[in-house]
Amino acid sequence: MAIGKIEPTGCTVRKGKVQLRLSFYLEPGDARYEEHHVSVPIIPDGGYPGEVDAEGAPVDQEHYDSWFESLDREERDNPFHNHLVYVDADATDAEIKQLMADCLEEFFGVWAKGEKILEAWQDREKLLKVKKELVAGSLSEENGQRCQDRGEDIKKRAAEFEVSNDN
């Protein structure tokens, strides 16, 4: 069961629309799950305690490597795909969730077949002989503010928009 979430750091206003960054995650048992289930070091506040040069690189690479290998690690799931969508300020929550579900279905389908998503997306554009361009919304100050307000509302409630491919 793959999951789609709104990633608040990728939400903004662009060309008179609300830009939403959708992040898609795999669950244990999903095709190719192990490719994005990773072990990452937990970097302590302050980072590397050893001596670094003017550009921040460690002076003693062996010491750095030893320090890095000694760090505790945590298991994490990285997204298997991130995708930007653009909606009008008056898009309903239900419309946004449906858009997310449709994107999740499409991209998970490509992923589960073992294909590379970007290549499949580009091939699709070639097949359709059209590149999806962002159709700008109104660039008025009023619409810009409505988009800003809607984007902030969505970011605050991002967890409410989570979708899965078994919904």
Per-residue pLDDT of the chain (167 residues; tens, 9 = 90+): 899 999 999 999 999 999 999 999 999 999 999 999 999 999 999 999 999 999 999 999 999 999 999 999 999 999 999 999 999 999 999 999 999 999 999 999 999 999 888 888 777 766 666 556 778 999 999 999 999 999 999 999 999 999 998 85
Q: In this structure, are residues 13 and 147 in contact, taking their beta carbons and an 8 Å threshold?
A: yes
Same domain membership, residue 61 and residue 18: no
Same domain membership, residue 115 and residue 145: yes
- Global pTM value: 0.81
Question: Domain for residue 88, yes or no?
Answer: yes
Spatial separation of the C-alpha atoms in residues 163 and 167, rounded to whole Å: 7
Same domain membership, residue 144 and residue 68: no
Same domain membership, residue 90 and residue 66: no
For residue 31, give its domain range.
3-36+78-162
Q: In this structure, are residues 104 and 166 in contact, taking their beta carbons and an 8 Å threshold?
A: no
DSSP string of 59-122, one letter each residue: S-HHHHHHHHHHS-EEEEEPPSEEEEEEE-TT--HHHHHHHHHHHHHHHHHHHHTT--HHHHHH
Spatial separation of the C-alpha atoms in residues 20 and 25, rounded to whole Å: 16
Spatial separation of the C-alpha atoms in residues 120 and 110, rounded to whole Å: 7
Question: Any residues with CB less than 8 A from the CB of 150 and at least 6 apart, and which?
Answer: 18, 89, 90, 91
Question: Domain for residue 24, yes or no?
Answer: yes
Looking at the structure of the chain, the number of domains it has is 2
Same domain membership, residue 118 and residue 85: yes
Same domain membership, residue 85 and residue 56: no
Question: Domain for residue 167, yes or no?
Answer: no
Q: Look at residue 127 in the predicted model and tell me its pLDDT.
A: 63
Spatial separation of the C-alpha atoms in residues 120 and 117, rounded to whole Å: 5
Same domain membership, residue 70 and residue 14: no
